[in-house]
Chains A and B, each alone.
Chain A
C-alpha cells in the first residue's frame, strides 16, 4: 500500500482502520510501515480521497528507471563460486537479447579479486562491499544491502544462485521489494510474447515442468539451479567498472553471533570434475547390490550418483543425489543402472555427453535419454560390464607390451 501525499487530507480514517498499526502519523505526511503492512486494503477502502492505492496496480511495469539486470554473486576463497559463474553466464545471455546493463553485486570478507573476475567475464559494473563483517552467516547484512542497492538501481531482472545464503537474501529482498521470486530455475530467457523474463522450473517431484513469468511486478527475481546454466563461454571484457560500496555497511552490525565454525565435507558430492558417473535407481533391487556398482565405479574411476528414491531409501546419502532436488551433472559418460527415468532425475543428467542405460523394463523412460540401452537385470549386466572392461584392459596392456 502507498499513500499519495498530494491527495491526502490527513483525516486519519486510515490510521483508525489499520489493524496492524502500520500507518505512522509521526511526520506530517502519513507513512505506511512496510514491515507492519499486510496489504490488507482496509486503509485504501476507508480513504475518502482515494489517496491510498495498491502499488501493484498503478505502477507501470517497465519505466525508464527500471532497467538493467542485477546479479547477486558470491565468492569462495577469493574466486567467483561455481554457481555464481553460471549466474553470470545466464545474465550475459539475457543481456544479448535486450542489451540491458549488467550489474553484479559482490559482498563478503574477501571479494575484490572475484569482482575483477566478474568484470573480466563481461559484467558492465560490479558493486562491491568488502568487509570482515560481511561473513556468509550475516544474512541480515547481505540481505539489507542487496535490497537497498536494488532499490537504488531499479533493475528489471535480478538473478542469483540457489545456495543457502542466496536463498535467504533473494527471499528477503523479493518481499521487501514487493515482487515475485521464482526458485531453482533450470531455464531463463527473454520471451518477446510476454515482454520479460520467462523461467522454467519443475515441481511435484519433477513430474511437472512450469514456465513462469512475473507480469506486473519489477524486478523479476529468480534463483538459478546450480549446474543448469553454463558459465560465460569466453572472457569478454566489457571495460566495466568496480564500484566500492563498502561504506554502505558502516554502522551496521549483524544480529547473528558466530560461536563455533567448522568446515564440513561438501554436502554436494564433487561431481563437477567427474568424467564418468555410475548412477543407481531403485531398480537395482536392494542396497546389497551396490557392491557391483562400487566395483564398476572403481574400475572406471567414476563417481556414484543416485536417484531421489535411492537416497530416501537410505541406500546412499544425499550427497549422491542427482536431479532437480539434487545435483545437475555433465559427465562425459553416464551409466544409469536400474533408473526408471523420472523427470526429477533426468533433469540432472540430461546434459551428459553419452548415456548408457540398463533397465529390465524396455519401456522405461530412461531409454529416451540414453544413447545405448541394455534391457536386462542390472545384477547380471554390471558384473559382465566390469569383467569386459578388465579383459579389455588386460588385452590392451598385452598389446602395449608387444
Chain B
C-alpha cells in the first residue's frame, strides 16, 4: 500500500493569536492518529510506503522529522510565500497538485479536524479535486486488497462497516488509536532521511486560485476573545448565604415537568 498522510502544523498553544510565526508549532494531534493508522497498515502489508504531506512555513522541518522518526518513509513540505493564507479550497488545490507529483497512491489519510482552523473541509475538498471516494470519521481500516479497503466508521447515529474502492481518502477519528512515540532507533533512522520541500514552482502552480488574495473565502475581520455575544450584564456576585435567594429566583423561572420544586 502506498499511503499519503496529510499532517498540518498548528500553533501549540491555543488562543495566542493567529499569527503562526509567534507561537511554537506542533503536528496537529488528530493527524497523528492518521499517521498511526498508516504505520499500522504498513506493518501488515509488506512493501508499503508512508509519505507525509504538509503545507506550512519553512521552519516546520523539525516537526516533519518527528513524523519520519515515528516511521514515515518520506516527508514532504509544501512551502511557498504564495501559499500563505490559503483557505480550505485553495489548500485542497495545492495538496492535490502535490498528490499528482506523488502518484501512484492507494490511500490518503488525515485527521478529522485541525485544532486551529477546525473546518474539517480540506479532506472532502481534496478528495473532490482528485475525484476519489472519501469517508469521514473512520475508526479503523480493517482489511485491504489491491482494489478495495474495508473500514469501520461512525457518524452521529450509526457505526458502519463499509467496503470502498481505492484509491480513496479517509479521515481518521481521534479515538481510532494512540499515536506511537518515536523510538530512539526511529530518531536515528530519521536523521538520515530528507525532508523534501516543494514550492509553488515545483508544483507548477501559477498562483491563480491560491494564497490569501485568491482564496474564495475572505476574512472581513477577526475579533479576539474579549468579544462576546452575551446579552446579559455581568454577574451579580453573591455569597453562599444567599444561595436560597438565587434558588428562589431561578426556581420561579423553571417549570419542573414533574412538579417537583427546585
Measured CB to CB, the residues of A under 8 A from B are: 19-20, 35, 38-42, 44-45, 54, 56, 76, 136-137, 139-140, 143, 163-165, 167-168, 170-176, 178-184, 194, 198, 202-217, 255-264, 266-268, 275-276, 300-301, 324-325, 332-333, 342-344, 346-347, 350, 353-357, 362, 365, 367-376, 380-381, 384-385, 388-389, 392-393, 396
Contact = CB atoms under 8 A, between A and B. Distances in A.
A183 B129 CA distance: 18
A168 B128 CA distance: 10
A182 B125 CA distance: 12
Contacts of A170: 121, 124
A268 B150 CA distance: 26
A214 B217 CA distance: 5
Interface of B: 11, 14-18, 87-89, 92-93, 96-97, 100, 113, 115-121, 123-125, 127-131, 133-137, 150, 153-165, 203-209, 214-225, 227-232, 234-240, 243-244, 246-247, 249-250, 253-258, 260-262
A104 B220 CA distance: 28
A137 B96 CA distance: 24
B98 to A, nearest CB: 10
B163 A259 contact: yes
Contact of A210 (B222, B229, B250): B222
Contacts of A198: 220
Given A212-B220, A392-B247, A136 B155 contact: yes
Given A41-B207, A213-B220, A263-B158, A393 B261 contact: yes
Contact of A180 (B89, B93, B120): B89
A321 to B, nearest CB: 12
Nearest to B246: A372
B223 A255 contact: no
Contacts of B223: 208-210
A216 B89 CA distance: 14
Contact of A175 (B18, B125, B254): B125
A275 B238 CA distance: 23
A384 B129 CA distance: 59
B235 A370 contact: yes
Contacts of A372: 235-238, 246, 249
B236 A211 contact: no
13 contacts: A38-B205, A167-B136, A168-B136, A171-B128, A174-B121, A181-B121, A213-B217, A213-B218, A257-B163, A261-B159, A333-B253, A355-B232, A368-B230
Given A255-B165, A392-B244, A181 B88 contact: yes
A148 to B, nearest CB: 14
B11 A268 contact: no
The 8 closest A-B pairs by CB, nearest first: A171-B124, A180-B216, A41-B206, A373-B235, A205-B14, A207-B15, A175-B128, A180-B217
A179 to B, nearest CB: 5
Contacts, number: 309
A267 B157 CA distance: 7
Given A39-B209, A183-B88, A214-B217, A375 B237 contact: yes
A268 B72 CA distance: 34
Contacts of B97: 38, 40
B204 A42 contact: yes
A184 B119 contact: yes
Q: Main secondary structure on chain A at its contact with chain B?
A: mixed
Nearest to A206: B225
Contact of B224 (A168, A208, A213, A370): A208
A209 B227 contact: yes
Contact of A276 (B119, B130, B243, B254): B254
A34 to B, nearest CB: 9
Contacts of A258: 160-162
B240 A217 contact: no
A204 B93 CA distance: 23
Contacts of B18: 203-204, 208
Given A209-B223, A332-B253, A369 B230 contact: yes
A376 B240 contact: yes
Contact of B93 (A38, A172, A275, A370): A38
A264 B158 contact: yes
Contacts of B17: 204, 208
Given A172-B134, A261-B158, A324-B118, 18 more contacts: A39-B205, A41-B207, A42-B204, A164-B156, A168-B135, A171-B121, A174-B121, A176-B128, A204-B14, A214-B216, A261-B161, A333-B253, A343-B225, A350-B228, A362-B237, A369-B228, A372-B235, A396-B261
B128 A204 contact: no
Most buried by B among A174, A213, A263, A393: A174
B254 A333 contact: yes
Contacts of A172: 124-125, 127-128, 134
A214 B14 CA distance: 26
Nearest to A355: B232
A332 B255 CA distance: 9
A381 B238 CA distance: 12
B208 A342 contact: no
A139 B158 contact: no
A167 B124 contact: yes
